[in-house]
Structure formats: structure tokens, C-alpha cells
Structure 1
Amino acid sequence: MITFENVSKTYHIRRFSKQVLKDVSFRIAPGESVGICGGNGAGKSTLMRLIAGIETPTTGTVTRDMTTSWPIGYASCFQSSLTGADNCRFIARIYGMPIEPLLAYVEDFAQLGAYFYQPINTYSAGMTARLAFGVSLAIDFDCYLVDEVTSAGDARFRQRCQEELTRRRDNGTLVMISHDFGVLREYCSRGAVLFDGVLTFYDTIDEAVAVHEELQLRPVHIRAAA
């Protein structure tokens, strides 16, 4: 179970403050597949980092009884001066995984060729996402967090991603962010909409998508700076 209790998150940047989440409470049970809808800048990636434990809430509590992946596609977990292989070795040690089998899986899955043994700072954004995807899937988690990464790579890579995600969804828990509603419908049964700091859950992903699309048609009111 992943539980948020009265969670708020506010960022303070110089004289500017932005409250991304406002007193959010919810539970995600084992075996659920949840798709999160929201406009650009709504705070979806922040929500994922809070679920993963990469960030802490400003107020409220987050409780996890499941192991969670970092958000797949989140590249900040890598040390850019190290090679892809060395980053994998480091992550394997952190999670107590056998190094050589993990290296073999990621090298085969990510399809980076010789770049697997080159520094991360020589990678394109797509290559980094593929490495992050491969490392995440090389480790067994109870809950997988997916943040806009299933389009990385060629057709063969995308097909393999789809197969692996489907297998993990069928045997665990999945929380996914995507602007591609077809992708959300493919993987998720339940949906939620993040709008104006409030996260609202719906019984089906179709209902969540419909509400999100209606909200995006509302006029935007820009507040003047004080």
C-alpha cells in the first residue's frame, strides 16, 4: 500500500512560491494500475518523486509498504561522468543485486551498443531514458513508476518495453504518467486527474481522461505578481 495523508508540496524560489499539491490524501493498493492525467506544469512529476521517496512533502506524510522504482525516465539518478555500465554497477550494489546478471540484462535491453561503456554525459536524452528504463526493469520492485518514456527508441525497443511493462502490471502495481491517452488506456484501469494542486481519483481511466480534457478547455486566469 502507498498512502498519502494530507500531503502538500510547495516550492520556494527567491520571491516566488508555488504550491504544487494541496492537502492530498489517497491510497494505491497492491495490484492496481493507475494513470495520472494533468496539464504541463500541473505537478505530475513532483507527485511521482514523492511516491518514489526522491522528494519529501512540505506537510503531511507518505507511507510505503511496497518497494517502488524511481520514476522510469528520471535521469538524475545517474552520475553523468561515469559510464552506463558503472552506473549500473553502483545501483546493483545499492539494491544488493548480483552485478553481472544486472549488467547483462541492461546491456541487452537498452540497446546502447558501445555507448554502454561510455560516460552518461555523451548520451542523448533518449539513450539516457533507455538506460533508466533498463535498470528499473532489471530490479524487482512491487510498484513501477512510469513517466513518459515508452516512446524512447526504435520499434523493437518500444515493443519490448510494452511487453515488460505489461508483465509487471499483471504481477504488481503500476503508476503511469503520459500525455498519450492511448498509452494510459492500454496499461491502466483506474485514473486520476491532477488539477490546481488537487488529485482526484476515478474508477476508470476513461472517466479520468474525459475530466482532464474538459478541465484543459477552461480559460486560464493569470494572477498579477504582488
Structure 2
Amino acid sequence: MIALRNLLFKLFFYGGSVPIVMTTPISALISWRALVAHTHFWTRWHGWTTRHILDIHQRIEGGRFGDMAFGGAPVLYAAKHQSMYETLELGRMLRNPAIVMKQELTDIPVWGWAAKRYGVIVVDREASAGALRRMLRDARAALSAKRSILIFPEGTRVEPGEQPELRAGFAGLYQMLKIPVVPVAIDSGMVWPKHGPKVPGTVTFRFGDPIPPGLPREEAERRVHAAINALDVPRD
């Protein structure tokens, strides 16, 4: 049954995603709001297929979360990253944040162009001074548009049980933007592993207590690292 669910998910989700992604430039040329609506249609398609085909559901913990707890003021979300699941679900859940995204993803034909129109923040893994300045410029533009920012501070998708140190990009944004950080612990890797079939279950999004701006870098990183790993349980 699990193998059948995975096969059907690939057929339905990816089969439906091709025309959705290929028509994204049309929405992008109309307006930013049209592009957002188009993106939400894709994420809702993702949510429907994961629930009804894979039998994967989600639970949100932590009461008020993110900018909803700050009267609409933008915040910096720092989230755990274990699967593709949260990259799509968080965009809709957090009301269109500007997502910090690695350079190679924005180089994908069609999709990468639309992502830039949406307003992602491109990060260069080489971490050059020029790349950092571009990242901060894009982040400030997002704040000016009253958009929160979403970063996966460990820099890449990890397996359950893996807790790498935070990348330098998080500290750069934290120190320069001076806005609260909302850590998000996610355990999607338990049902959506990096290798192997996806299995039925529930993905928990736990929004931690906001971390105020202005803390020393080491303390901010320590608190974020602990909070985003609060649900982390190694796989057997």
C-alpha cells in the first residue's frame, strides 16, 4: 500500500505540477498578487495530494505564531528543513514570506525566473562579501514591503537526528535586520525521508517563543539551534 501511495503521489502531484509551474510566468507578468494566487494554488494542490494520497497531515503547535503575534510586523522565521514538504507548506502558512533560497534553484528555467519575481532572497553558498550585500539588500526590500523572511538556517535539508551548525547567512540577517526571530521546529523527515518511501503520519510545526533582536551572535544562534531541533528524533 505504501508503494502504491508513493506511485500515485508522483503521478498526480508531479503530473499536475508541470502545467502549473509552466504557466507561472503568465501570472508573474500580470501582477505580483496574481503570482501569489498561482503559487497558493500549487501549494494547495500539494496539500491535497499529501493528505488524500499519502495520508500525511499536519499539526501546528505554539499558539500565535510569527508576525501574527506582532501586529503584522515582519519577523525572521528560522525553520528546520527535513523535506520538500515544509518548503511548500510554509509559504502559504506564513502568508507569503520572502524565502532565502540558494542560487542554483533560481537558475532553473522558468521556475527560477518566477521565483525572483515572487521576491525570494538569493544566497550564494560561497558567502562572498558581494553576495552577502545582495542578500541584505533583498531582505530589506522584503521588509519595506511588510513581508516576513523565512530562512532554513542550517543551510540544507537534513535527516532526522542531524543537527548541523547554523550557516553564516542567518547571523548576517539577524544582526543587520534587527527584527525578532521566530524559530520553527519541524519533524517532516519522519514521514518524508530523504531516502526511501514516504509513509502516512503527521508533520508537526512547532513555533517557538520569539527571540528578540540585539542578542550576541553566539546566544542568538544557540537559542535558535535548540528551538528548531526541539522535535528532532533520530530514525531507527
TM-score (ref. length: structure 2): 0.42
Greater strand content: 1
TM-score by length of 1: 0.44
More helix by share: 2
